[in-house]
Chain A
């Protein structure tokens, strides 16, 4: 019984310190030092939130760059239910899903016979991956250019401008953020109309 008092009072003390004071202190400092990041890196167009720089969105029209396939339910890129497909490598359901994605890409761009980059037909781990590889972006560039009636060179230049490359061969992969790329594309298109 003599152990009960330290057990209960220390439990209370640790709960207060690590469960309340610690997260509240981190929140306070984070909101002062890094408010944009702490609140979700939200992107706004004309003051209206259109998404997060870190959360993927689903694109299916030919004039947009498509992102990683998403296995969230009940619809892709559901940002309150992150999930991968968890399909095993030999599961026929995985092969069927990949075939369907290939078919959709081919239907939107029948003349493109280049090999399809793997990240464009495989579901991401979170279901919310905002990025695709540069290979996947260049693969889609002709389709996007045609649908938007833009010169291919302009679209490629935009990819290059938005691209992230590995830093010192160490941090990251060659990639581009699909939401940011499509936003930049909209801005470019708007300029053309002017």
Chain B
């Protein structure tokens, strides 16, 4: 482990924590619907009226219904854009229609804020599809996640009411006052550092040295020609030019991070130099990912009138995050033992980053790669600046475990806070059982109906992951996609289902997931992982908002102190470990141990 990693981690966390209070209060302002500066407020009122939005607040059922209708429209439009892109403008590379199963998967993927990518962006999607389909959903899926968090916050802050806010107004204010302006500034900052932003066709350049490669010689029917010895005859193809992919990348990159979406413009995602050209852009992108999830926790504490409640949840997140990323950094710095045997130098020196560099970029080295990875898997972002499939076994287990904690360590924009609040209810419930009192959380009694909704939200994800992985592991169509043999192949399947059901979207990317089997399986997992959790959470909000506030008594467990933080972390880890430890044992743990056994 190196000082540069610890310095980076410390500076990063300090920068993040400095934004929490101002941004958290700003989101409180957005949530409370208070009027903006007069001309801006006038535009808001006029546009909403024009769109047929009335000013009244909704109960949880109407809120859920409007959210589902809106998401359905989004899914259909993204599907249609991919199928029709061949006839639409802004397609300079003349990409054909995307296959039906891949379009289905990608449409769900972007509407559910997952941004799992079975396709390779630069060879599949037209600029129009990227902009008008995918980037729009980057905004809207993020906004709807934040809207759900607003509802749950209001449920705790209000009492004796059915009314939880207006979905349309929330969507408008979140998008126009938070996501759009921050993205705009971030996009320009990224361009200044080298992220591209244009509508040109792919550029041809004559490289310094011509590239060449061997390929099987084909006959007139496209079959490889075989020599007299039965071997396939190859020919050498010389490529004197490099064709460089272009596009409106920066505008999409900014919201991809800020909305914890994670769907890259290019196949290599944030490892691509045009998405993430240097360590400064890497830092800004990481910060953008965590900005909103961290701020909303403060918004919660602020809205319930006790900011200590928010800081306690944030402390639990930061603690688990720090331990996870330090463990990850240690594993990757240690490198790959097999390389040492070959005389490869993996030491960290003044001249090189060292460590396990397969799948990592030189400009990031180990420190900036693992921090980015932990940030994007603790949240539901799922962007990558290094290939997780090539991480060491224990290193790769960290992002997997962070995802499997239900995206509660910061988590997705909005969904992270709701996930953490659900676990806070589990924690006070367990605490209540221990002392034999009705559990309470920030002035609300937690009763049978609430715990039923909480149970659905907590248990659905592991069921999706484990059952889905089990099916993949026994079906030929599931095994056909594996890129690596043995335990690592099992990890690829387990990771893909965890990523989909938790709406993360990162991958052990060797898995060939652009097949009808995985497109449909992962599509269904993403859909249920998002909406079959959102609806019970909205129902929970409805139940909580209707309750009266109970005054704090002598028997109330304080939920802002060290005791509660420990109980919360314990609950999270216990549920996560109980669900997934057997699966880890079959994947990363056995892979880590196997070289020791065979030597």
Residues of A within 8 A of B (CB): 3-11, 13-15, 17-20, 22-23, 25-27, 29-31, 33-34, 37-42, 48-61, 64, 68, 74-92, 94-95, 98-99, 102, 115-119, 121-136, 138, 166-167, 169-175, 179, 182-183, 186
Interface: B566 (CB within 8 A): no
How far apart sit A123 and B360, CA to CA, in the bound complex (Å)?
A: 8
How far apart sit A25 and B184, CA to CA, in the bound complex (Å)?
A: 9
How far apart sit A127 and B277, CA to CA, in the bound complex (Å)?
A: 14
Q: Lowest 4 CB-CB distances: which A-B pairs, in order?
A: A86-B510, A125-B271, A133-B352, A82-B268
Q: Determine how close the nearest CB of chain A comes to the CB of B181; give it in whole angstroms.
A: 10
Q: From the candidates A55, A90, A133, name the one contacting B594 in the complex (CB within 8 A).
A: A90
Q: Contact check, A76 vs B343: say whether CB atoms are below 8 A apart.
A: no
Contact residues in A for B357 (Cβ distance below 8 Å): 118-119, 122
Q: Determine how close the nearest CB of chain B comes to the CB of A158; give it in whole angstroms.
A: 15
Contact residues in B for A11 (Cβ distance below 8 Å): 70, 73-74, 77
Contact residues in B for A58 (Cβ distance below 8 Å): 207, 209, 211
Interface centre among B215, B272, B280, B384 (most CB of A within 10 A): B272
Contact residues in A for B183 (Cβ distance below 8 Å): 22
Q: Contact check, B390 vs A19: say whether CB atoms are below 8 A apart.
A: no
How far apart sit A11 and B133, CA to CA, in the bound complex (Å)?
A: 11
Interface centre among A68, A84, A175 (most CB of B within 10 A): A84
Q: Contact check, B135 vs A19: say whether CB atoms are below 8 A apart.
A: yes
Contact residues in B for A76 (Cβ distance below 8 Å): 211, 213
How far apart sit A40 and B266, CA to CA, in the bound complex (Å)?
A: 14
Interface: B591 (CB within 8 A): yes
Binds A, one of B197-205, B293-301, B442-450: B197-205
Q: Determine how close the nearest CB of chain B comes to the CB of A19; give it in whole angstroms.
A: 4
With A85-B390, A127-B268 in contact, is A174–B352 under 8 Å at CB?
yes
Interface: B362 (CB within 8 A): yes
B184-201 vs A, CB cutoff 8 Å, 1 = contact: the mask equals: 100110011111111110
Contact residues in B for A167 (Cβ distance below 8 Å): 279
Report the interface size class on chain B: 35 or more
Q: Contact check, A79 vs B251: say whether CB atoms are below 8 A apart.
A: no
How far apart sit A121 and B62, CA to CA, in the bound complex (Å)?
A: 58
Interface: B103 (CB within 8 A): no
Contact residues in A for B50 (Cβ distance below 8 Å): 9
Q: Contact check, A51 vs B358: say whether CB atoms are below 8 A apart.
A: no
How far apart sit A87 and B255, CA to CA, in the bound complex (Å)?
A: 30
B173-185 vs A, CB cutoff 8 Å, 1 = contact: the mask equals: 0011001100110
Name 15 extra pairs, CB < 8 A, besides A7-B70, A57-B207, A75-B239: A6-B168, A18-B175, A18-B255, A31-B198, A55-B242, A55-B273, A64-B209, A82-B272, A88-B390, A89-B358, A89-B488, A95-B342, A122-B358, A126-B272, A129-B362
Q: Contact check, B351 vs A115: say whether CB atoms are below 8 A apart.
A: no
In the complex, chain B residues 329-361 whose Cβ is within 8 Å of any chain A Cβ: 335-336, 338-339, 342-346, 349-361
How far apart sit A102 and B255, CA to CA, in the bound complex (Å)?
A: 41
Q: Contact check, B344 vs A115: say whether CB atoms are below 8 A apart.
A: yes
Q: Could you give 30 example pairs across A and B, Cβ below 8 Å?
A: A6-B51, A7-B73, A9-B50, A10-B172, A18-B135, A19-B136, A37-B191, A50-B207, A51-B205, A54-B194, A57-B208, A76-B213, A80-B245, A83-B267, A84-B509, A85-B387, A88-B488, A98-B339, A115-B343, A118-B357, A122-B356, A125-B268, A126-B361, A129-B361, A131-B361, A138-B351, A169-B7, A172-B368, A174-B352, A174-B353
With A14-B140, A40-B244, A41-B194 in contact, is A123–B358 under 8 Å at CB?
yes
Q: Contact check, A23 vs B390: say whether CB atoms are below 8 A apart.
A: no
Contact residues in A for B209 (Cβ distance below 8 Å): 57-61, 64
How far apart sit A58 and B344, CA to CA, in the bound complex (Å)?
A: 21
How far apart sit A83 and B507, CA to CA, in the bound complex (Å)?
A: 13
Q: Determine how close the nearest CB of chain B comes to the CB of A29; give it in whole angstroms.
A: 6
Q: Contact check, A49 vs B203: say whether CB atoms are below 8 A apart.
A: yes
Binds A, one of B431-439, B479-487, B526-534: B479-487
**Count of chain A to chain B residue pairs whose CB atoms are closer than 8 Å in the complex:** 388
Contact residues in A for B361 (Cβ distance below 8 Å): 124-126, 129, 131
B9-31 vs A, CB cutoff 8 Å, 1 = contact: the mask equals: 00100000000000000000000
Q: Contact check, A135 vs B359: say whether CB atoms are below 8 A apart.
A: no
Contact residues in B for A182 (Cβ distance below 8 Å): 208
Interface centre among B283, B390, B510 (most CB of A within 10 A): B390
Q: Contact check, A170 vs B362: say whether CB atoms are below 8 A apart.
A: no
Q: Contact check, B279 vs A172: say whether CB atoms are below 8 A apart.
A: yes
Contact residues in A for B491 (Cβ distance below 8 Å): 88
Q: Determine how close the nearest CB of chain A comes to the CB of B494; give it in whole angstroms.
A: 13
Q: Contact check, B131 vs A10: say whether CB atoms are below 8 A apart.
A: no
Q: Contact check, A118 vs B244: say whether CB atoms are below 8 A apart.
A: no
Q: From the candidates B213, B248, B346, B369, name the one contacting A23 in the complex (CB within 8 A).
A: B248
Q: Contact check, A173 vs B362: say whether CB atoms are below 8 A apart.
A: yes
Q: Contact check, A86 vs B389: say whether CB atoms are below 8 A apart.
A: yes
Q: Contact check, A55 vs B244: say whether CB atoms are below 8 A apart.
A: yes
Q: From the candidates A23, A29, A33, A48, name the one contacting B135 in the complex (CB within 8 A).
A: A23
Contact residues in A for B62 (Cβ distance below 8 Å): 3
Q: Contact check, B353 vs A173: say whether CB atoms are below 8 A apart.
A: yes
Q: Contact check, B245 vs A79: say whether CB atoms are below 8 A apart.
A: yes
Q: Contact check, B208 vs A59: say whether CB atoms are below 8 A apart.
A: yes
Q: From the candidates A37, A125, A169, name the one contacting B195 in the complex (CB within 8 A).
A: A37
Q: From the candidates B74, B200, B391, name the one contacting A89 in the complex (CB within 8 A).
A: B391
Q: Determine how close the nearest CB of chain A comes to the CB of B492; give it in whole angstroms.
A: 8
How far apart sit A26 and B184, CA to CA, in the bound complex (Å)?
A: 7
Q: Contact check, A86 vs B356: say whether CB atoms are below 8 A apart.
A: no
Interface: B460 (CB within 8 A): no
Contact residues in A for B336 (Cβ distance below 8 Å): 89
